[in-house]
Amino acid sequence: MHSLWRTLDRGTRRDIALICLANAIVGASFGAIAVSGGIQPWVPITMSLLVFAGSAQFAAVGVVLSGGSPVAAVVAGLVLNARLLPFGFAVADVLDGRWWTRLLGAHLTLDESVAFALRQRDRRRRRAAFWICGLAMFLIWNLAVVLGALAGGILGDTDALGLDAAFPVVLLALVLPALTDRGTRNAALLGAVVAVATAPFLPAGLPVLLALAGLLPIGRPATAAAKTDPTREAL
């Protein structure tokens, strides 16, 4: 672990620490929201250990607190976590090794760990960024959820404190560097338009998946270029 830590530059280590701090606030709010809504403390704590996906956990608890069934809560979490499947392909090179290493890596595949891994140029740094961010997030998130759950109703209305905004702000900070590329920026804008336009009409989670339609135009320029490339025609 120490060697992985030394592999990363100081700026990346600082950014990971800041992300963990922001997610600690989100984790504490999740535990407090769940318990103050009438859910037993062991439920959010167990979810955080076994599910370990903030958005899915919030969605599942939201469904239960609004009167939905446990089955509906599980489906909501699965729909939101479907985005992690392509994430796994994106960081497959850092998850090779023994089966238990791949299993642990799959559990630590998060928006944040994948984002930090993809920011690195070589495999060694990608591996270090992924594992350090994933393990640190797992530790901090679960400790924060325990503290929030124990606090229970002490925090009162967590929305009034603005804690509900911390999670999307963290994700926005992660994707901003990638938006300097024109193709990525256009894809993100198209995906955002699709998600916002469909959000009032579709169940929670589906607009996020439909936003992947923003990726479709990216392949068109490359395809058109291939068709007009005289060297490919000669082959």
> For residue 233, is pLDDT > 50?
no
Both tokens of 134, joined, read 């994933």
230, part of any domain: no
Query: In this model, does residue 202 exceed pLDDT 60?
Result: yes
Which of 166, 149, 144, 141 shows the shortest CA–CA distance to 36? 149
Across 171-188, average pLDDT: 74
Q: How many domains, the chain?
A: 2
- Are 100 and 209 in a shared domain? no
pTM: 0.68
Domain identity same for 212 and 97: no
Tokens 């911390």 correspond to: 166
Same domain? 158 vs 189: no
Residues 166 and 211 in one domain: no
With respect to residue 227, please indicate whether it lies within any of the assigned structural domains: no
Residue with the bigger pLDDT between 34 and 221: it is 34
Q: Are residues 88 and 191 in the same domain?
A: no
Cβ-defined contacts of 184-189 (< 8 Å, 24+):
186/214, 186/217, 187/214, 187/215, 187/217, 187/218, 188/214, 189/214
Provide CB contacts within 8 A for 125, sequence distance 6+. Answer: 7, 8
100 and 195 both lie in a single domain: no
Q: Which residue range forms the structural domain that includes residue 70?
A: 2-180
pLDDT at residue 62, rounded to an integer: 78
Amino acid letter at 46? T
Give dist(CA 5, CA 131) in Å, integer.
Answer: 9
- Compute the 3-state secondary structure of the chain and give helix, strand, coil in percent, each to the nearest 5: 80, 0, 20
Q: Evaluate if residue 117 carries a pLDDT over 70.
A: yes
Question: Quick one: 54 and 92 in the same domain?
Answer: yes
Structural domain includes residue 69: yes
Highest mean pLDDT among 75-79, 93-97, 197-201: 197-201
Task: Specify if 50 maps to a domain.
Answer: yes
Backbone conformation region of residue 97, classed left if phi is above 0, alpha if psi is from -120 to 50, else beta: left
Same domain for 209 and 134: no
Pick left, alpha or beta for residue 23 (phi over 0 → left; psi -120 to 50 → alpha; otherwise beta): alpha
Identify whether 53 is part of a domain: yes
Residue 235 lies in a domain: no
Same domain, 51 and 79: yes
Do 135 and 153 lie in one domain? The reply is yes
Span 41-61, pLDDT tens digits:
899 999 999 999 887 888 788
